[in-house]
Structure 1
Amino acid sequence: MRSNVQPRRATVRRILGASLVTVLALGIVASGAFATTATAAAPESTATGTRADADGPWSVPTALTGTTDIVDVIDVRTAADGTVVAAMYRQVPATSQLELRVAVRPAASETWGAPTVIDTLKVGRETVQLLPAPDGSVTLTWVRAGSENTIRTSTLTAGATVWSNPVDIAQGTRFFDVTMAVGASGKAVAVWNQSSGRSTQIYVSERDGASGAWSSAVRLDDTPAETLEGVPQVLVAPDGSLTAVWSEYGPERQAVKAVDKPVGATGWTAPRTLSAPTSSARAVRAGAGPDGEAVLVWTASGEPAGDTQLETVVRPAGSTEWGPIESLGAVDNVVDPRPLVAPNGEITLVWVDWRDTYGVRTVTRSATGDWSAVRTLSTEYVPEQFDAEIGPDGTVQAGWVQNAAAGDGNGRVFLHAARVDGVWSAPTQLSRKPSGVAIGQVAGGPEGRATAVWHESVGSFTGQLWTAGTNLT
């Protein structure tokens, strides 16, 4: 079972570990426990009612790939102009290699272009991320394994149809967990882990503009021996200042660490601890709004009872200081909470946890700092795979895999719900039928639009990617 919090791409990377074929045949099952109180979702409408259609009725699903390949969806994101990009794997027949492919659906179009091969990778050792930027471009980042691991990027500029040639950011024998962010001016920063014996360190590289060169890698932390770093996160404020955060796992305690690089500075600050001194905090995730408001969420155990808490801190737009730690209650084995910040200052968290069963939960912090009750979105058992994004208008899109309802046959289905104008829609099933594997991703877009891509099994080993969207034209 994976650690509590990882970027969404890590699920697919783990799935593709020793044998993609085996996992596609058997699916994914997570286990754990959840101890806090959660509120079951009271239906606001039927799945075909007005709330479910608030962001437009879903289009008829269409096939994105054929039926003879072993494929999987990695990520789906929407560019500033409404262009949608999907990243996917295709296993090269009779080999252990994967083709990293991308497909593009132009803005205001219902038609996807044919998937393009960006790189060929080894199974199970790659990190892949799609990142839309304020200038309308979309950057694809991945790790190419070999005698040395290479962090690579390729960019689809605004309005373009061809991806740039791959650019190598850095090379090293043990690079992993790469995360990137791009600011309004095109300034980009990439952070990653590098293992060294029984320790790991955090490194960073920067690019001043869309056409600039990447800087040499700089180590950010002072990691002591026998200490591991969690998945790093990075934020680029509207003024160009940078913040990197990560969780540190030492022999005696865990903590959330942060470093900053103010505008005009030539170097990064020394690491400081954001979590409480008495807690063991880990698995931090970061989110930011268009005005620079930022939020961090992590799990922490501490005194007096030692219960694990879901904790957050918020940094107001334009500020350099993080607010007080806010606890959302006791939890156990929370999976991947996503902090999503709306333009009006609301913060919505979406995650998977165990209560009576594994389920998708959500909670929202108002612009005045008040948290809502925890709400359950799913209706059946949910494996750990899910996705959540926020569009430029603040509409939250959530997609998840759950067991098919009793009487609908064995297997899993992919569902969607949206939070529009502060109200969650009832779940809508997007997959056409129950499937042995039903991994899916969802992307938010302008004017509440949503796009989903999901996997449906075809045979014992092969599968097919399907897609649907709302307000396509």
Structure 2
Amino acid sequence: MKVAASATGGVVAIWARERDTSNATSSGGFGQIQARIQPAGSTTWGPITDLSRAGTHASDPQVGIAPDGTITTVWEWASDALAAQKVTQSRTRTTGATWGPVQTLSQRGKDVDDPVLVVATDGTATAAWKRSYGRAGVRVQARTRPAGATAWNSGVWLSGSRGEADEPRLTVAPNGVVTAVWKLSSPLRVVPNQNFYLQTRSTAFPG
């Protein structure tokens, strides 16, 4: 479960709930992303909302709130719990409105994992995740949605094309500069989980 609060006191909680246990697989059945909102100034939580599609497998939800109350969520999704290839999905809810449609942020046919999300003080949202890159390894990819927009910008690669990137993390400064860090295992390593490097990229120094 993840929780976020707005500057005015609104709160949103998001989690992955196991569903359809009668069809459970060895991976734990079907997971559905759900959310619940407590409006600013209220002590009562609103109804539970299903964010991901029923009968599929979603997990690892992340959430952030902009100062104007816009809620952004991301998670990883697959057609079922045993699917080898997952994608990153997102839904957004503006203040006083209903949840928008599900948006797929990553390319289908390439497995993703570890989605992360930050929302800047101006409302700009940035999501990142690690994604398989053919036989070359695993890379960190990111997309940004400008403040007030409904569409996400094109995805950008943060890590290089060699090695296996892991555990991406994002942080955003008060001035809106986003910094990403991740762990990279050397493509030349002989022993698994050895020869790790810490890499970083920032919107202040994008190169």
Q: Give the TM-score normalised by structure 2.
A: 0.78
Equivalent residue runs for 1:385-464 within 5 Å: 385-404=114-133, 406=134, 409-421=135-147, 422=149, 423-458=151-186, 459-460=188-189, 461-464=194-197
Q: What is aligned with 2:3?
A: 286
Contact 1:385 1:400 in 2 (8 A): yes
Q: What is aligned with 2:54?
A: 330
Distance 1:346 1:334 in 2: 22
Contact 2:62 2:115 in 1 (8 A): no
Q: What is aligned with 1:114?
A: none
Q: What is aligned with 1:364?
A: 92
Q: Highest relative contact order (Cα 8 Å, sep 6+), 1 or 2?
A: 1
Which sections of structure 1, spanning at least 5 residues, go unmatched?
1-283
Equivalent residue runs for 1:217-296 within 5 Å: 284-296=1-13
How many aligned positions are there? 185
- Could you say what secondary structure the match of 1:290 adopts? coil
Structural RMSD (CA): 2.5
Distance 1:365 1:419 in 2: 13
Q: CA deviation at 1:462?
A: 0.2
Q: CA deviation at 1:384?
A: 2.6
Distance 1:372 1:364 in 2: 5
> Are residues 1:321 and 2:44 paired?
yes
Instruction: Write out per-residue CA displacement over residues 19-75 of structure 1, whole angstroms, 9 at most, x where no aligned residue.
Output: xxxxxxxxxxxxxxxxxxxxxxxxxxxxxxxxxxxxxxxxxxxxxxxxxxxxxxxxx
Instruction: Write out per-residue CA displacement over residues 251-308 of structure 1, whole angstroms, 9 at most, x where no aligned residue.
Output: xxxxxxxxxxxxxxxxxxxxxxxxxxxxxxxxx32111122110112334679x9975
1:343 to 50, 57, 67: 67
Contact 1:293 1:317 in 2 (8 A): yes
Distance 1:413 1:337 in 2: 20
1:384 to 113, 116, 123: 113
Q: What is aligned with 1:197?
A: none
Distance 2:115 2:183 in 1: 13
Q: What is aligned with 1:469?
A: 202
Equivalent residue runs for 1:11-410 within 5 Å: 284-300=1-17, 309-328=32-51, 329-355=53-79, 357-379=85-107, 381-404=110-133, 406=134, 409-410=135-136
Distance 2:105 2:44 in 1: 33
Q: Which has the larger radius of gyration?
A: 1
Q: What is aligned with 2:27?
A: none
Q: What is aligned with 1:255?
A: none
Contact 1:302 1:308 in 2 (8 A): yes
Distance 1:441 1:302 in 2: 29
Q: CA deviation at 1:444?
A: 2.0
Contact 1:359 1:378 in 2 (8 A): yes
> 1:288 corresponds to which letter in structure 2?
A
> 1:310 corresponds to which letter in structure 2?
I
Q: CA deviation at 1:374?
A: 0.7
Distance 2:49 2:185 in 1: 42
Distance 1:454 1:376 in 2: 23
- Could you say what secondary structure the match of 2:123 adopts? coil
Distance 1:397 1:302 in 2: 29
Which sections of structure 2, spanning at least 5 residues, go unmatched?
24-29
- Could you say what secondary structure the match of 1:471 adopts? coil
Q: CA deviation at 1:333?
A: 3.6
Distance 1:310 1:440 in 2: 21
